[in-house]
Amino acid sequence: MIYEFAFPGSRGPGIDAIIERLNVHEPSPEAVGQASAALARGDLVILPTDTVYGIAADVRNDAAVLALYAAKHRSPDFPLQLLFGRDQSWLERYAVVTPAARKLVEALGPGGWTIIVPAREGWASPALSGGRTVGFRMVPVEVTLDVIDSLGAPVAASSANVSGGASPVTCAQATEQVGGACAVAIDNGPTAQGIDSTVIDLSGGDASILREGAIDRATVARILGLAQIPVVRSIRS
């Protein structure tokens, strides 16, 4: 089923074109085709994950990545994460997957984590915000994996909210905040976790958790063989 929402006025500063209607799809092959086609032509899409809904752009398209920042009213000084599909070989093109990162990925599988590692030399993107580290995710949501696989590249992504707004756990919450900047949204119902991912920094020496979310610190520490792990911020209740 397809729903259409009209959005009057501008999509926000820095976005020249105005998308008059947002097509909201339930998961289906048609939804996958519409979303991957939109990404390929440089549009933004809203995708479900297990944690919160995300806003995504083709990472190979710098203009689209910058439009994502504008849609969120967010400074491009803050890096975006990359969402990968089922082919883990893509990771090696964009990220240096450290032994600790690989251990976490193998133990946790696709899920509520974002792992920060050094970025692979030879590629650059506004998503990196001028740095040389990259956060990557793999989500256990089939329709989102289908979209990314169909696109043939990872997507730069962030939670589908305006800067300072609540992270959306339903498609309606996402479209209310950033729908005017997007061409397609996929409504997969409320997210399974209902909380942002846990961000684990493995880019330097000691491991740390920058944001404790869907996965608790004890689980991360246990997998990494640590007695404890430093936590900068927790959003767990």
Please, what are the domains in the chain? 2-224 (3.90.870.10)
Nearest to 156 by CA among 126, 201, 186: 126
Query: What is the C-alpha to C-alpha distance for residues 25 and 73, in angstroms, rounded to an integer?
Result: 25
Q: What is the pLDDT of residue 237?
A: 80
Cross-strand bridge partners of residue 83: 137, 155
Distance between CA atoms of residues 150 and 166, nearest Å: 30
- Cα distances from 131 to residues 34, 114, 187, in angstroms, run 32, 17, 33
Buried b (16+ CB within 10 A) or exposed e, 27-55: beeebbebbbbbbbebbbbbbbbbbbbbb
Mean pLDDT by 10 residues, the chain (237 residues): 45 41 92 98 98 98 98 96 95 96 97 98 96 97 98 98 96 96 97 97 95 98 98 95
Strands 21-25, 2-6: parallel, antiparallel or unpaired by DSSP? antiparallel
Q: According to the model, what pLDDT value does residue 205 have? A: 85
> Can you read off the two tokens belonging to residue 117?
């590692």
The span from the first CA to the last CA of the chain, in angstroms, equals 36
β-strand pairing of 113-118 with 198-201: parallel
Place of tokens 């007695």: 227
pTM equals 0.91
Positive or negative, the Cα torsion across 52, 200, 93, 89? negative
Report the alpha-carbon angle 45-51-52, nearest 5.
Answer: 40
